[in-house]
């Protein structure tokens, strides 16, 4: 008994210890269960209250096991209806593809997918799905988060379409388009118009700068940078560009700074305005010519009156002195000086005329041969002359003297440019029988682009002071235009100059029968002449010539006064009418005079035989033109022709 009690005591203690351990285990398990329940409650609350759609899906069959309120709201079904569906019922992709994606998610091979889900309303939405695989109570489940990305997808699609449209517009725009990086200046893209007009291949351009390519000069690039710094953009900038084959183009440039993939880029559009600029320069040049021509015309009118008075009186006195006497020699010298002065004035006016002062068939080959003979005696000792003249060159209709002077100007300019041992070539060509072409070529120093652009400007010259007036090429240009022709200059530094003149061929002419009248050279019978001129010098000098020939003269100072005399009954045998007078002038007086006296012969006197004078003569019968200054012999011949 005594032995048994200690054993029982030990046993009781062991049992109590075991019961204590079990109790503590049960307590810990209870705490764990309570903690798990708390976690589940917390995550359940997060699941239910999340603003993002969440689903719990059976990993094997795809049944929707749970859905939060955000998912119910997004899909539009009641929760009971939504839990009655499989994920395949919502997905618009083929079931096999959905099953394959679910297997990837269950195996952990992928957790992000792009699907299109259908809502209760039938609307399809683009969704971005994140799925995580988990095991719950022995069942594989997919915890899925669903993001509606429809609007983002639409924005991306709109951006993609916009980029495609931009690319299409960029590549097929008629203007030259370039996209370059601002920092380096390297081209990122260029359009077809740029490649076509510039003559480049795409691989030659991309990754290189405009200066590397040679499209824009360093000065042009600096001008663009200054515009960007000052204005933040480029608008309406006129820029000289150079094509791959060295042609210069004038472009009107607009450019904007645009961000592309984190880089600051320059989107530029350039319009080729080369032809417009050329036309504008030609218009400005024509306006300069017209302005200078009007000025010269006014000066020439006064000069011709002065020279006309000198020539008239000197020619009268020349006939009154026997040949070989001192008086005859003196008046002959005066007459020759006046005639030379008149020729100088006519040459000055050549560029302002719309038609030649004289009309005759001119052989250009013959004129060039004469030029060659003259040059051989003067300046050709130091240069070589080559004549290449077409055998069947058609004649041109015009003024041989003006054309001869034009060719001389060109030849003298060429010789000046040649220096020693150069070659001057004069060529003619028959262009389809419709044009006669003259080329004056030299292999001299040539002209820069800047000089070439101003070569036809009045008073522009590169010669030293005292050696050139700057009117040489201007006069040539005027003469060519007066003959209905065209003029083109081609020149490069170090490669010489070619000047191309093209004149319309003269129409075939019917041969005129010779005048059989043996008395044609006889002096005209005494006439009564009405002289209409506002210049007293001309009145006195012409009257002196007429009286020396035995005619009687009545002088008036205006067209209005002449008409009044005719209306008062005056009936002269001939009228000498000055074209350039104040008031009605010759142009306004002639038609009124013709109505009063239909058959009255009229000599139209002018120092400016332009198209207006020629039209007046052609438009009225019995009218002939007499160019100032004229002498006794000229006036006698004109009166005889009447």
- pLDDT at position 94: 82
Residue 282 domain-assigned? Answer: no
Judge if 82 and 213 occupy the same domain: no
Judge if 485 and 567 occupy the same domain: no
- pLDDT at position 23: 60
Residue 187: how many other CB atoms lie within 10 Å: 23
DSSP for residue 420: S
Range of the domain at 216: 154-272
- pLDDT at position 354: 43
d(CA 594, CA 20): 152
83: Cβ contacts below 8 Å, ≥ 6 apart: 64, 65, 66, 67
Unique residue bearing structure tokens 């924005």:
155
Please say whether the beta carbons of 153 and 246 come within 8 A. no
**How distant, in Å, are the alpha carbons of 152, 159, 161, 457 from that of 156?**
6, 5, 8, 60
Unique residue bearing structure tokens 């044609």:
520
105: Cβ contacts below 8 Å, ≥ 6 apart: 59, 111, 113, 131, 132, 133, 142
Compute the residue count for the chain. Answer: 642
Q: Which residue has the higher pLDDT, 17 or 486?
A: 486
Residue 612 domain-assigned? Answer: yes
CA-only gyration radius of the chain, Å? 51
d(CA 144, CA 98): 14
Residue 254 domain-assigned? Answer: yes
| 3-state SS string for 46-93 | HHHHCCCEEEEEECCCCEEEEECHHHHHHHCCCHHHHHCCEHHHHECC
d(CA 199, CA 215): 10
Residue 185 confidence (pLDDT) above 50? yes
φ, ψ at 299 (rounded to 5°): -65, -40
Residue 240 domain-assigned? Answer: yes
Q: For the ranges 203-217, 236-250, 437-451, which has the lowest average pLDDT?
A: 437-451
Q: Which of 148, 168, 194 is the last residue of a domain?
A: 148
- Confidence label for 2 from pLDDT (cuts 50, 70 and 90): very low
Residue 111 domain-assigned? Answer: yes
Task: Classify strands 396-398 and 360-362 as parallel, antiparallel or unpaired.
Answer: antiparallel
CA-based max dimension of the chain: 199
Judge if 365 and 500 occupy the same domain: yes
Angle at which helices 364-376 and 400-418 cross, to 10°? 40
Residue 328 domain-assigned? Answer: no
- pLDDT at position 68: 92
Residue 210 confidence (pLDDT) above 60? yes
Please say whether the beta carbons of 514 and 631 come within 8 A. no
d(CA 279, CA 285): 10
- pLDDT at position 592: 93
Judge if 463 and 497 occupy the same domain: yes
Residue 19 confidence (pLDDT) above 70? no
pLDDT above 90 as % of the chain: 27
d(CA 612, CA 623): 14
- pLDDT at position 40: 65
Task: Please compute the mean of the pLDDT values over residues 551-557 and round it to a whole number.
Answer: 93
Judge if 495 and 604 occupy the same domain: no
Helix (H) or strand (E) holding 479: helix 472-482
Judge if 592 and 480 occupy the same domain: no
Helix (H) or strand (E) holding 406: helix 400-418
Task: Please compute the mean of the pLDDT values over residues 476-497 and round it to a whole number.
Answer: 84
d(CA 573, CA 525): 10
23-37, 95-109, 625-639, range with greatest mean pLDDT: 625-639
Q: Which of 471, 488, 504 is the last residue of a domain?
A: 504
Judge if 371 and 471 occupy the same domain: yes
d(CA 612, CA 354): 9
Residue 89 domain-assigned? Answer: yes
State both tokens at 346: 């006519």
Residue 627 confidence (pLDDT) above 80? yes
pLDDT above 70 as % of the chain: 80
φ, ψ at 497 (rounded to 5°): -135, 140
d(CA 248, CA 198): 10
State both tokens at 188: 């990122």
- Alpha-carbon torsion 244, 246, 247, 249, what sign? positive
- pLDDT at position 628: 82
d(CA 368, CA 393): 12
Tens of pLDDT, residues 322-360: 888 888 888 888 888 877 777 767 666 654 554 455 678
- pLDDT at position 469: 40
Judge if 581 and 623 occupy the same domain: yes
Please say whether the beta carbons of 270 and 251 come within 8 A. yes
- CATH classification of the domain holding 594: 3.40.50.2300
- Confidence label for 416 from pLDDT (cuts 50, 70 and 90): confident
Say how many domains are in the chain: 4
d(CA 292, CA 284): 12
Judge if 468 and 556 occupy the same domain: no
Q: Which of 104, 122, 148 is the last residue of a domain?
A: 148
Please say whether the beta carbons of 545 and 312 come within 8 A. yes
- CATH classification of the domain holding 78: 3.30.450.20
Judge if 168 and 108 occupy the same domain: no
- Alpha-carbon torsion 614, 615, 616, 621, what sign? positive
d(CA 529, CA 565): 13
DSSP for residue 553: E
Q: Within the chain, how many helices (H) and strands (E) appear? A: 21, 22
Residue 502 confidence (pLDDT) above 90? yes
Judge if 495 and 561 occupy the same domain: no
- pLDDT at position 565: 93
Residue 344 domain-assigned? Answer: no
Residue 317 confidence (pLDDT) above 90? no
State both tokens at 475: 């006069």
Judge if 414 and 490 occupy the same domain: yes
∠ CA 365-366-367, rounded to 5°:
90
Task: Please compute the mean of the pLDDT values over residues 289-298 and round it to a whole number.
Answer: 66
- CATH classification of the domain holding 461: 3.30.565.10
């Amino acid at each position: 008994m005594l032995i048994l009690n200690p054993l029982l005591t030990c046993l009781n203690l062991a049992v109590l210890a075991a019961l204590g351990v079990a109790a503590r285990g049960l307590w810990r398990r209870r705490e764990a269960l309570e903690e798990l329940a708390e976690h589940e409650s917390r995550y359940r609350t997060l699941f239910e209250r999340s603003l993002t759609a969440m689903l719990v899906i059976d990993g094997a069959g795809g049944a929707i096991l749970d859905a939060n309120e955000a998912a119910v709201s997004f899909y539009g079904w009641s929760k009971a209806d939504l839990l009655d569906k499989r994920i395949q019922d919502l997905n618009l992709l083929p079931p096999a593809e959905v099953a394959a994606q679910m297997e990837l998610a269950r195996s952990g091979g992928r957790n992000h997918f792009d699907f299109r889900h259908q809502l209760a309303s039938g609307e399809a939405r683009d969704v971005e799905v994140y799925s995580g695989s988990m095991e719950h109570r022995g069942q594989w489940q997919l915890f899925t988060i669903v993001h509606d990305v429809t609007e983002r997808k639409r924005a991306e699609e709109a951006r993609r379409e916009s980029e495609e449209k931009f690319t299409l517009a960029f590549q097929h725009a008629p203007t030259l388009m370039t996209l370059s990086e601002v920092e380096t200046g390297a081209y990122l893209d260029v359009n077809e118009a740029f490649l076509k007009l510039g003559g480049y291949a795409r691989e030659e351009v991309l990754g290189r700068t405009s200066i590397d390519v040679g499209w824009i000069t360093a000065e042009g690039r600096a001008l663009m940078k200054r515009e960007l710094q000052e204005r933040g953009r480029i608008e309406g900038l006129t820029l000289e560009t150079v094509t791959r084959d060295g042609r210069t183009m004038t472009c009107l440039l607009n450019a904007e700074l645009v961000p592309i993939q984190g880089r600051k880029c320059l989107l530029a559009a350039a319009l080729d305005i080369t032809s417009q600029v050329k036309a504008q320069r030609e218009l400005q040049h024509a306006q300069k010519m017209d302005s200078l021509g009007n000025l010269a015309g006014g000066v020439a009118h006064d000069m011709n009156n002065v020279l006309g008075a000198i020539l008239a009186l000197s020619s009268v006195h020349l006939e009154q002195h026997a040949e070989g006497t001192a008086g005859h020699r003196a008046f002959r010298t005066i007459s020759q000086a006046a005639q030379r002065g008149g020729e100088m004035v006519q040459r000055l006016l050549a560029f302002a005329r719309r038609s030649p002062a004289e009309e005759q068939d001119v052989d250009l080959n013959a004129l060039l041969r004469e030029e060659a003979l003259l040059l051989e005696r003067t300046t050709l000792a130091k240069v070589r002359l080559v004549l290449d003249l077409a055998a069947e060159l058609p004649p041109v209709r015009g003024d041989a003297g003006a054309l001869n002077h034009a060719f001389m100007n060109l030849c003298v300019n060429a010789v000046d440019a040649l220096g020693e041992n150069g070659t001057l070539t004069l060529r003619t060509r028959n262009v389809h029988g419709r044009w006669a072409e003259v080329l004056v070529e030299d292999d001299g120093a040539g002209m820069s682009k800047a000089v070439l652009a101003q070569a036809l400007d009045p008073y522009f010259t590169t010669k030293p002071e005292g050696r050139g007036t700057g009117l040489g090429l201007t006069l040539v240009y005027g003469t060519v235009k007066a003959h209905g022709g065209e003029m083109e200059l081609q020149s490069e530094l170090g490669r010489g100059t070619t000047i191309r003149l093209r004149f319309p061929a003269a129409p075939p002419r019917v041969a005129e029968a010779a005048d059989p009248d043996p008395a044609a050279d006889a002096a005209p019978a005494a006439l009564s002449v009405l002289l209409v001129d506002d210049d007293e010098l001309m009145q006195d000098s012409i009257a002196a010539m007429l009286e020396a020939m035995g005619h009687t003269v009545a002088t008036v100072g205006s067209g209005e006064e002449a008409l009044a005399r005719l209306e008062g009954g005056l009936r002269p045998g001939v009228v000498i009418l000055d074209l350039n007078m104040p008031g009605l002038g010759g142009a306004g007086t002639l038609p009124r005079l013709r109505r009063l006296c239909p058959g009255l012969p009229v000599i139209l006197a002018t120092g400016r035989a332009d198209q207006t004078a020629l039209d007046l003569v052609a438009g009225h019968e019995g009218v002939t033109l007499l160019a100032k200054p004229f002498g006794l012999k000229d006036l006698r011949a004109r009166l005889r022709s009447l």
